[in-house]
Every structure is written in C-alpha cells, then in structure tokens.
Copies of this chain bind each other. A is one copy, B any other.
C-alpha cells in the first residue's frame, strides 16, 4: 500500500465513491466531503485541508482529511476518514489515523478533535475513535437533527503528552 498526499483530477469522484460506499453518510454530507477536495485543489494549502490517501495497486482504498482549526494555535481536526467497506477490518482506518496524527504532531498539534454523531449508524466509528485513544469531550443533543447528537472526541498528542 502507498500513501498519496497530492490531490489530482478524479479525486472528487474517488471521494464521492468512497463516501457513498461507506453507507452512513447522507447526500449533503457526501457533497461536503467532495467540496473539501475542490477547496484543496483550488486554494492549495491555504484551504486548511490536508489529504492523505491510501492506495493499493494504484486504486484509492481510503483517505483522511484533516487540518489545523482556524483561529487556534495547536488544535487540529480530523474532518473526514473513510475506508472502502469491502476492505474494513484490515487496519486501514487505523493506519490512516496514525499517519495523520504523526503528521499533525510534527506540524505542532497538541490536541486533535473529531466530530461525529451519536446515532446507531456511527457506533462502529465511535468505537474506532475510542480504541485509538480519543475521549469524549462534549455531546450536543439533537445537534444534527432529532435524536442525532453531535459527539466531540479529543486526543492529546505531541508535546502535551509529556506533561500528562
């Protein structure tokens, strides 16, 4: 498997395909995922979105989108992480997250945030974040819609760990 961090033509379609295949994203959420690709391709680093794809035999099998949170000094956010559902259980999600975490730490991140949903559809995602060291930082009831809480996870990384 190989890492690719430079976006190219066709990544909009790849991201759309991966998000749709994942099965738990609504249509408007898939649209936002694709918009982040468009933003990155048109504005470059100034977009604030970093991408990392995992490829196998030249085919994208998962990706993570992350970036420093605007108006913060050391807080970063994992905006999106998706793995081809046919390949789940092979540790691809963990590889994506670990690689992104080490890049964020190198860039000065002290804390990483991940927003997700409290619904049943996201149970596996929440378990994945918890297995990877993320703690519940906040729960906002009915944030996304009725009975669809926003869950904010966070994890200290980089220099901050030395003091904890």
Contact = CB atoms under 8 A, between A and B. Distances in A.
A140 B143 contact: no
Nearest to A25: B71
A74 interface: yes
A126 interface: no
A72 B110 contact: no
A113 B72 CA distance: 19
Protomer copies: 2
Interface in A38-94: 69-75
A64 B140 CA distance: 23
Contacts of A110: 142
Contact of A145 (B72, B113, B145): B72
A143 B29 contact: no
A164 B71 CA distance: 35
A21 interface: no
A144 B32 contact: no
A110 B139 CA distance: 17
B144 A72 contact: yes
A71 B138 contact: no
Contact of A152 (B26, B113, B138, B145): B138
Most B Cβ at <10 Å: residue of A28, A72, A152:
A72
Interface of A: 26, 28-29, 32, 69-75, 110-111, 113, 137-140, 142-146, 152, 154
